Structure 1
Amino acid sequence: MQSLFQASIINTFSGIASMAAGFGSTVLVARLLGAEGTGLTAFALWLVFSAYALADRGIPATVLRYVGQRNGKENTEQDLVRQLYPKFIWPVLLLTVAFAAYSFWHSDNPVDGSTGFWLVTSLLFVTYCHSQLAIAADHGRGDYVGPATKVVIGCLLQLPVIAVGAYYFGAAGAMAGHFARHVPQSLAIVRHLKHGSSLDTPVNKQIIRYSRNSWISSTLTVLVRTRVEFIFIGVFFL
């Protein structure tokens, strides 16, 4: 387990890498796709992050909080992840199917160009959800190097995939770059689900209550944060 200082340095470094990749991605999309493509990809990313807040049910926060406190048993962090995963995955899959269904319903819209854009967005959504759960599980058991390394790898993949994808495939290719950004970390969830104990440690009421409260809090934060700016814009134009 890393010390608090080491964890802070590692998280700061990965955060800087993520910010740099995000800034570079915005510049690339703006230069290659123009205002229309930039607005479309920004809207799709907002949908993905908002849908994640609705779908996660507070489970990543719960895993982060309790994964290291499972009575000291060996591999009990995977025990908790495996127990909570069924509750986590069904709303994620439901919204993924909704994204995919929308792609076929909206396929004739000239702005989107094809079903490919929203299909890639659906893949980005399910990948992003699993990456956040994997990060929570790793951090909960004191592993900061692994997630930070995967974040850096994802950032290194993001920029070239966006550049090539946006140039040849437009907005759908740009979204493929954001998808590539979260693939390395999302694959880490396999390790947490594949190995573990015999699920003999029950999820108690305290854990369930914490999960529910975290979900309500994060959902309200997203809804308020993404709406309050419109109040100020409206006041400004009065």
Structure 2
Amino acid sequence: MYSAISGFATVFATFISGIIAANLLGVEGTGLVAFAVWLALIASQVVDGGTSLCVGRFTADLHGQGDKAAAYSLSGRLARRLLLYNAMGIAAFAVFYFADPGTATDSLRRLFGETDGDAATNLVFFVALLTFTQSFATFGMAHYRGSQDFVTPAAVSFVSMVAQIVCVYLGAFLFHVPGAIAGYIAGQILLTVAGAKLMTRNGTVTAELISETRTYGRYSWAANLCNTFVWSRIEILFLQSFWGYREVGLFSVALALSAIASQGPLLLTGAFLPMLAEKHGQKDRQGLQMAFASGTRFLAIAAFPACFGMAAIVPTLVQLLYGPSFAPAIPAATIIATAAAFSITTVIGTHLVNALARSDVIFVTSLIGAALSIAGGFLLIPHYGLLGAAISRTATQLAMIGIGLWFITTRLRFSYPFAALLRILLAALVASLAAFVVVTLVPGFHGLVLAILGAAFVYALCLRFFGAVDPQDIAVAHRLIAALPPRFAAMANILLSFIDPSSAPGRIVTPRP
């Protein structure tokens, strides 16, 4: 739950920042901000060098082995390695810029669509600063999760959320696009400090562990770079190149609406990688299978209704939050949100593969996904624009899902809960259809509220009617709910008992075949 709070703060800050930019800067201004933030995200993955995945995975593994001293020393070593990678990135850009300043300035002007070379250079400065803060913020979050400390990042993320929203608003209002980007930087400061202070840690790290982290880091870094073509909005680059910032702005809205639906369920997965890595360190194969299957089912229960429901209410949301000028984003948002429902359910599988240190496989599959994404970018986006970007993204991700399922079930030989997922899918489809009918009959804000409430009620009914929730998951949920305040725990237990009348708090059940 603390991990979910931390993730929610990040997602909510990004979502509200996008709405602020849309209302203060217009479609093209929103596109330019989205492009700059995307560039920083890509650059931060380049300079990361695989350190974030290493600190998350190996710290958890070492804690599982009871070697906290090695975990302490390793986090400091990896933090200093990240600083070195950032310095190398700055040096590479300095060489590019000062080797031929005139050509470099022209290139930057074309990249950002600016007629003023100084304005383009200023944007690069903000992007570089956001890259640095983003890389250390990601590293710090991964370290805390690997150390099983979820309270600290939750508190820091909440404060950072408030700082980002306030600073993006003030920056966009006073200084337009550069000010909005500076607001994103302000939101990363505390998280950056949390990651950077790990550089002071010293201690002995065995040569074997250093070698293992380097190998894992290389593969995971290469896999992340390839994954930028599949999961990290590479379509923005093609839209900016072939169409312009208007389409980038519209696409960023489509992605934001999909993210607010899909990221909600994903917030519950932050603890899975360190937990699975810890079980791997304990050589608990049965525990890995149970955590993988149950986690996948729980994720589907949250993801399917959230994403399909978002697809149903997208037209109303776009009008209410962004205004009529963003209406062309509706078809793309519907497609992306629908596809996200399926991609989210594979996240626990990805954590499983990472926990087993099979970053080599992730790299190979990511390379395939990168090739598919580039092909789609050149074949679809130049001709179909925004709709082509949505179709390209969806097709690539669905292909990656198929490859991942094949590897987990046939090579790793873990059982995938297909039957349970199908029952959950049917329940979510009926609920989303109910939401669509409501917003069609009752437009505006009131229809939106009625659609959400009605879909939630229909979904609970369908979960019960289809027997979609495994009794073992109900029992686990009852135990988790016991940690809530009594009044909330009582209401949650009533809901669970409605979904599965045979369940009760604390009851021991046999898992469904």
- Please state which band the TM-score falls in when normalised by the shorter chain: 0.7 to 0.9
Tell me the secondary structure at the aligned position of residue 143 of structure 1: coil
Aligned equivalents of 1:13, 1:68: Cα separation in 2 = 20
Aligned equivalents of 1:101, 1:33: Cα separation in 2 = 29
Is 1:29 the counterpart of 2:35 in the alignment? no
Residue 204 of structure 2: which of 188, 199, 202 is its match? 199
TM-score by length of 2: 0.41
Q: Deviations over 1:101-127 (max 9, x none)?
A: 599935883497364332222111101
Residue 226 of structure 2: which of 203, 217, 220 is its match? 220
Taking the TM superposition and a 5 Å limit, the aligned residue runs for 1:21-170 are: 21-70=13-62, 72-96=66-90, 98=93, 105=105, 106=108, 109-110=115-116, 113=119, 115-170=121-176
Cα distance change on mapping 1:112 and 1:148 into 2, 3 Å: farther
- Whether the 8 Å contact between 1:79 and 1:199 is mirrored in structure 2 is yes
Aligned equivalents of 1:96, 1:37: Cα separation in 2 = 27
Aligned equivalents of 1:84, 1:190: Cα separation in 2 = 11
- Whether the 8 Å contact between 1:63 and 1:136 is mirrored in structure 2 is yes
Q: Aligned Cα RMSD in Å?
A: 2.9
- Whether the 8 Å contact between 2:136 and 2:195 is mirrored in structure 1 is yes
Residue in structure 1 matched with residue 381 of structure 2 by the alignment? 233
TM-score by length of 1: 0.82
1:204 shift after superposition: 3.6
One-letter code aligned to 1:50: I
Aligned equivalents of 2:121, 2:382: Cα separation in 1 = 34
Cα distance change on mapping 1:164 and 1:80 into 2, 3 Å: same
Cα distance change on mapping 1:51 and 1:73 into 2, 3 Å: same
Greater Cα offset, 99-108 or 63-72: 99-108
Aligned equivalents of 2:157, 2:177: Cα separation in 1 = 23
- Whether the 8 Å contact between 2:80 and 2:199 is mirrored in structure 1 is no
One-letter code aligned to 1:126: F
Aligned pair count reads 229
Cα distance change on mapping 1:46 and 1:87 into 2, 3 Å: same
Identical residues among aligned pairs (%): 24
Which has the higher relative contact order, 1 or 2, with Cα contacts under 8 A spaced 6 or more apart? 1
One-letter code aligned to 2:27: A
Question: Which consecutive aligned stretches of 4+ in structure 1 deviate over 6 angstroms post-superposition?
Answer: none
Aligned equivalents of 1:185, 1:129: Cα separation in 2 = 10
Aligned equivalents of 1:94, 1:40: Cα separation in 2 = 27
Residue in structure 2 matched with residue 184 of structure 1 by the alignment? 190
Tell me the secondary structure at the aligned position of residue 174 of structure 2: helix
| Rg comparison, structure with higher value | 2
Greater Cα offset, 224-233 or 173-182: 224-233
Q: Please, which runs of 5 or more residues in structure 1 have no aligned partner?
A: 1-8
Cα distance change on mapping 1:111 and 1:30 into 2, 3 Å: farther
Tell me the secondary structure at the aligned position of residue 67 of structure 1: helix
- Whether the 8 Å contact between 1:60 and 1:132 is mirrored in structure 2 is yes
- Whether the 8 Å contact between 2:3 and 2:154 is mirrored in structure 1 is yes
Cα distance change on mapping 1:48 and 1:22 into 2, 3 Å: same
- Whether the 8 Å contact between 1:11 and 1:144 is mirrored in structure 2 is yes
Cα distance change on mapping 1:204 and 1:164 into 2, 3 Å: closer
1:133 shift after superposition: 1.0
Aligned equivalents of 2:149, 2:118: Cα separation in 1 = 40
Aligned equivalents of 2:163, 2:131: Cα separation in 1 = 17
Q: Deviations over 1:33-79 (max 9, x none)?
A: 22232111111111111112222111110111112444645543331
